[in-house]
Amino acid sequence: SPSDPDLVARARAAKEKLGDKVFVLGHHYQRDEVIQFADVTGDSFKLARDAAAKPEAEYIVFCGVHFMAESADILTSDDQKVVLPDLAAGCSMADMATAEQVAECWDVLTEAGIAEQVVPVSYMNSSADIKAFTGKHGGTICTSSNAKKALEWAFEQGEKVLFLPDQHLGRNTAVRDMGMSLEDCVLYNPHKPNGGLTAEELRDAKMILWRGHCSVHGRFSLDSVNDVRERIPGVNVLVHPECKHEVVAAADYVGSTEYIIKALEAAPRGSKWAIGTELNLVRRLANRFAEEDKEIVFLDKTVCFCSTMNRIDLPHLVWALESLADGKLINQIQVDPETESFAKLALERMLALP
Ligand code: 13P
Ligand code: SF4
């Protein structure tokens, strides 16, 4: 829907008043009405890297979800303030691994006698606490655009990986990019005693996958892939690695949001694409590439927005920018120094991956 012209004018005026004092980052899943005000757009890796790109900006307004704003706070200097326009913009996947559960898991691994061989690799989509745990235990963060490199690095450090919290990204990367088999992976269920696994199962596994997932990408099924191939002959199926393994295995291409955009930019005229990721991005790409005669459809028949990404709307952005322009700091995301130091270690290991 078109943005309210009054709100657009207010956002523009507040941004102009703030000038170089504000730097607005926007994840690709953000609404059109919000993304138009982003100074930089990107996938989670690019935004983590770019957060530190404007050290002169006093405020970083993060149009994305809570774990991204936390990561930006960790990676920027102490006098830069990160603002999340709606504090309710969380991520259900990140919430699936709490600090207590992960500490308990480490005890289980210790009791099974394997903790010393295990390197934690945590998806960006996790709380700062989980990132700190990862840093403390010699592990790294990864995103969907560098998960393979992160796993390669981790298997140079140890024999096993504890992958948190997205089982699908972990499994897909292990099997698709690392040549492991499904039997090399076990699923650790934090709601069951000992994760629902025997010590023997843990000792035999190479990849210990945390039982988390993204409910948005979880909607895509093998049926969605088969249906679209039937409906649109010659269609290229391109999905995000947060999709289930069977969906990724049936797709033609797999990658992060930034990868998806690049793939469509490089696609020939007249090509047809079915995209398995969040709907704001797919709609924007369908509109953008319609002029180049590229047919882009959403992979599923149902509508899949990320409800928490969508919480950042134009009214919230206007409120955030106007408050900052009036000298009022609101919705600051601040990670405590102890957590920050360990989480930063893990994030910096990611940034140093080849
Ligand atoms: P990327 O933009 O890194 O592909 O991540 C997608 C996502 O789910 C962010 O929450
Ligand atoms: Fe979290 Fe999924 Fe939304 Fe990404 S799309 S922010 S993983 S709920």
Of all ligands present, the nearest one to the C-alpha of 92 is: 2
- The pLDDT, as a whole number, for residue 3 is 87
Chain segment 123-182, per-residue pLDDT in tens:
999 999 999 999 999 999 999 999 999 999 999 999 999 999 999 999 999 999 999 999
Q: How far apart are the first and last CA of the chain?
A: 41
- Ligand 1 binding pocket includes 43 (Cβ within 6 Å): yes
Q: Which two tokens stand for residue 6?
A: 């009054």
Chain segment 73-125, per-residue pLDDT in tens:
999 999 999 999 999 999 999 999 999 999 999 999 999 999 999 999 999 99
**CATH level 3 topology of 5-91+309-335:** Rossmann fold (3.40.50)
- The pLDDT, as a whole number, for residue 34 is 98
2 pLDDT band, cuts 50/70/90, is: confident
- Ligand 1 binding pocket includes 44 (Cβ within 6 Å): yes
- The pLDDT, as a whole number, for residue 1 is 57
- The pLDDT, as a whole number, for residue 300 is 94
- Ligand 1 binding pocket includes 144 (Cβ within 6 Å): yes
- The pLDDT, as a whole number, for residue 303 is 79
- pTM for the model stands at 0.96
- Ligand 2 binding pocket includes 308 (Cβ within 6 Å): yes
Chain segment 275-313, per-residue pLDDT in tens:
999 999 999 999 999 999 999 999 998 878 999 999 999
Cα 277 to ligand 2 centroid, rounded to whole Å: 10
Of all ligands present, the nearest one to the C-alpha of 165 is: 2
- The pLDDT, as a whole number, for residue 304 is 85
**CATH level 3 topology of 94-214:** Rossmann fold (3.40.50)
- The pLDDT, as a whole number, for residue 302 is 84
Of all ligands present, the nearest one to the C-alpha of 214 is: 2
52 pLDDT band, cuts 50/70/90, is: confident
Give me the residues paired with residue 140 across strands.
121
ipTM above 0.85, yes or no: yes
* Residue range(s) occupied by CATH 3.40.50.10800 in the chain: 5-91+309-335, 94-214, 217-298
CA-only gyration radius of the chain, Å = 21
For residue 259, the tally of other CB atoms under 10 A from its CB is 17
Give me the phi and psi of 77, to 5 degrees please: -75, 160
Give me the phi and psi of 52, to 5 degrees please: -90, 5
* Burial zone of 2 (CB within 10 Å; 0-12 exposed, 13-18 middle, 19+ buried): exposed
Whether domain 217-298 has CATH 3.40.50.10800: yes
- Ligand 2 binding pocket includes 309 (Cβ within 6 Å): yes
Chain segment 239-281, per-residue pLDDT in tens:
999 999 999 999 999 999 999 999 999 999 999 999 999 999 9
Give Cα separations from 186 to 168, 181, 196, 226 (angstroms): 12, 11, 10, 28
- The pLDDT, as a whole number, for residue 113 is 97
Chain segment 20-44, per-residue pLDDT in tens:
999 999 999 999 999 999 999 999 9
